Copies of this chain bind each other. A is one copy, B any other.
Amino acid sequence: MNLKEFSHRIGLSPTTVSRALNGYPEVSERTRRKVLESAERLGYTPNSRAARLATGRAMTIGHILPLSKEHEMVNPIFSDFIAGAGEQYSRSGYDLSLSVVRDEDEAEAYRDLATRGVVDGVVIHGPKVEDPRIRLLGDLGLPFVVHGRSSRVHGEYNWVDVNNRRAFSRATEFLLDLGHRRIGLINGLDGMDFATRRLNGYSDALEARGIARDPELVFSGEMTENYGFATTLQMLDSRNPPTAFLISSIIPAMGARRALHDRGIGLGDEVSVVIHDDDLSYFRNDGDVPIFTATRSSVREAGRLCADILLDSIRDAQGERRHVLLEADLTVGQSTGPAPAMRHLLGRDQADAPRGLAR
């Protein structure tokens, strides 16, 4: 049933019905009730396609999911982010449009969304250092928010980011305080802005203690389980292995744990691990004492915040650009302990403790 028929059936004009349904003030309460009740009873719902054309608003937010050709991998934090953002969209009557594109087509995909008029705004995922998408969207005049930030990009834009630098410098300091001097960094893909900031945090902390950064202890790559496994093994098998690892996500941390296990090295006693934990719903690092010592920041919450900011920004195009910097607090879990060389000094040598029973 369309508006014309519905309004005719209940003896009102399309104008009045439209107003009643959209909450305009110039319709009397009595009429509005009648319209709402009749719509419910007769099962009338306005056709969104028509409303979108008439209003010029798409009532839709766009997300682009680029697939890297080599790895064909989907960012594992994507679904939790979407869950957070999607909740907010629903609440505000917005739909979410997801475009899956090969990564070399990403810029074109944004252009396309803008000119076809199918979205009112977009979210930029996984910004790189000097990310060109920010400039592009500014030029297109399409409202957007970045999940993360992009170093060396001038101009204001909406973003929600974790204080990656602080998180990683704190995590590094924590390990240094435990006596670790050789700390491996298993980081995200080179060029990703968050990875750069994490590396900086790590470097800062080392430098502050006068410790030279060993390039053989720093790795970057896509954060798979296999990547965590391979890099950990490589470092463990080197002439001068680290006594601690800093890992950018819980997924490669699974691989690191496997590598330690394969080498018969105890996690939390012989070797320490600190991870950054995005609080993925299917991979919670919680419990009384979490498995991993971690800097935690919920990516789901970041999704909610991004959505809120973007929706605001669409409603009020003149408003100021907004920024949210989330602090990731360090939670001590079972995966960290004093550096081996320090342990007898502290009277807690656990070299003979059963493997696998962390601390």
Taking beta carbons and an 8 Å cutoff, which residues of A are in contact with B? 43, 45-50, 52-53, 56, 58, 60, 65, 67, 71-76, 78-80, 82-83, 85-87, 89-90, 95-101, 112, 115-118, 222-226, 251, 254, 257-258, 261-264, 281-284, 286-287, 291, 300, 354-358
Contact = CB atoms under 8 A, between A and B. Distances in A.
Nearest to A115: B45
User: Which secondary structure dominates where chain A touches chain B?
Assistant: mixed
Nearest to A73: B281
A58 B67 contact: no
Contacts of A89: 100
Contacts of A100: 82-83, 85-87, 89-90, 96
Nearest to A227: B282
Looking at A71, A73, A358, which has the most chain B CB atoms within 10 Å of its CB? Answer: A73
Contacts of A264: 354-357
Nearest to A222: B282
A92 to B, nearest CB: 12
A71 B280 CA distance: 12
A267 to B, nearest CB: 8
Given A264-B356, A281-B73, A48 B116 contact: yes
Given A49-B117, A117-B49, A76 B73 contact: no
A67 B87 contact: yes
Nearest to A224: B282
A262 B356 contact: yes
Contacts of A96: 97-100
B282 A223 contact: yes
Number of copies: 2
A282 B53 contact: no
9 nearest A-B pairs in the assembled complex, by CB-CB distance: A86-B100, A73-B281, A45-B115, A48-B116, A261-B356, A76-B282, A79-B79, A74-B79, A96-B98
A47 B282 contact: no
A80 B48 CA distance: 29
A226 B280 CA distance: 12
A74 B76 CA distance: 11
Nearest to A262: B356
18 contacts: A45-B116, A46-B116, A48-B116, A48-B117, A48-B118, A49-B53, A49-B56, A49-B58, A49-B118, A73-B281, A74-B281, A78-B79, A90-B101, A96-B100, A97-B97, A224-B281, A262-B356, A264-B354
Contacts of A281: 71-74, 224
A72 B45 CA distance: 30
A287 B229 CA distance: 12
Contacts of A254: 254
A115 to B, nearest CB: 4
B115 A98 contact: no
A12 B257 CA distance: 67
Given A87-B67, A98-B82, A282 B73 contact: yes
